[in-house]
Structure 1
Amino acid sequence: IIAVSMFFIIVKGIIFGDLKTQKWLTSVFTGFFSSIILTQPIKILGLAVFFTLFCRNPNDDKEAKEYIDETNFELDGDEDYLDSNDFSLISNSSKRITRLNENEVAFLREQRLKELQMWSIVREFIIYAIFLILLYIITFSNRTQNSFYQTDHLQNYYLNTRQTDCDYTQILTIDDYWNWLNNSFVTNLRAQQWYNDDQPINLNGYINDKTNRMIGWATMRQLRSKSQLCSDQRIMPTCIDDYSLFNEEKDSFQP
């Protein structure tokens, strides 16, 4: 991943030029260090305050209070209060506490641990679900609904389906292909003269529709499909299926 990222950074740096590359790197480093010095500490401090106020565990054990009442103790026969004046009004008929044996304490401890683990798993699941929802919203909310019209326009524009003599979809021979390539595709890659023969001023890098700008240089890649025997060779000996990654022809061809 690091190698691929470095490759694209170098390529974009060559395309942008020295001045734009310096501005781009300056903005990247500025955002990086401002995030480390300013944004991240504020975020950590805010999360710490939030968890301290709303997510901290109380000091009192609620489960222990269900079994132990601190206001209802009775001394054994050989025990006495340190300060008898403070407890002179305590009735000797107070109910004695039924203490838990070791097995009951171990069972309750195990149940409590399971409960804590269960709530921890539920909390992590909820946080992960919220993260996925936010990621989905951020990822797909930036996709404009006009992307289809943009793609459809560029496809029809370069294939030149409006002209019958240079329509790519109607190519049948090699001469038809070269005619489309030289008279339609190449001229549409860059902005040409206006309808009144004026030069395309301030349209450097734009394609011939004077609206869309092409970043970088145009590259044509030839892909071949593997030819195979047809099921009915009486009509046609070889057949070529539609191109895909599984039937791509990778053999070397002599020019």
Structure 2
Amino acid sequence: MSDDTGTDGLTVGQVSTRLGVTVRALHHWDEIGLARPSLRTAAGYRLYTAGDLERLHRIVVYREIGLGLDRIRTVLDDSTADVPGALRAQRTQVAERIDRLQRLSAGLDRMIDAHERGLLLTTEQQVALFGPRWNPDWPAEARQRYGNTTQWLQYAERSAARGPEEWQAVADAVADLDRALGEAMDAGVTPGSPQAHRLVDRHREVFASYFPLTRRMQVCLGRTYEADPAFAAHYDGIRPGLATWFRRIVDASARAHGIDPDTATWQ
């Protein structure tokens, strides 16, 4: 090896370029005595010999597989060190790290799918869980309509963590609530009554399976249930007039908490 002056050896900058190691790292290894250049130029610049470069290659390899600098020093300098044992232990750690990264990659794939699809369930699973009235196109339509909102982000994060069993629990909770709403309407529960307030609170708790729902957002949702044909058909299919009755009990609960339902916005 030779530098531009004809002196045998490589400068710190040349070694940095050749090994892909920062000059700062080389200076640090020099300072702690891990890898010191063996030569100096007449001007006092340090140079690395072929032997120095070979040691540096080994340091770089050991560092890339995760050995700490103190452990690297032992492996290089201690003739009694169990090098194969140290490498086997590191191989085990690397395998564990690979397993963690693979699980992280799988989790990221699910998160991406959840953001793009909403539900990570087949069409058959969706219908089995949510009933024959369920339209498998609804998640895609919801993403198109709400995909840029904070609520879709929250929904997708919850969806990514759920499989069929978790969604079954959500579906069961929604079905129980729908039955309770229909029975309350049949029983003549009036908006503003304690029982009606409890149902409104229960709806907000159940809905939190999708994303957190504030009282103001619930008012907006109540309007949607009444005005949107698909939602109205669902609730009026449980009991005729249930969509309007539900909107009324939500509005009464909002007023009881100091919220004007006529001016409430999605916040």
Coarse TM-score class (shorter-chain normalised)? under 0.3
Q: TM-score, normalization: structure 1?
A: 0.20
Which has the larger share of helix?
2
The structure with the larger Rg is 1
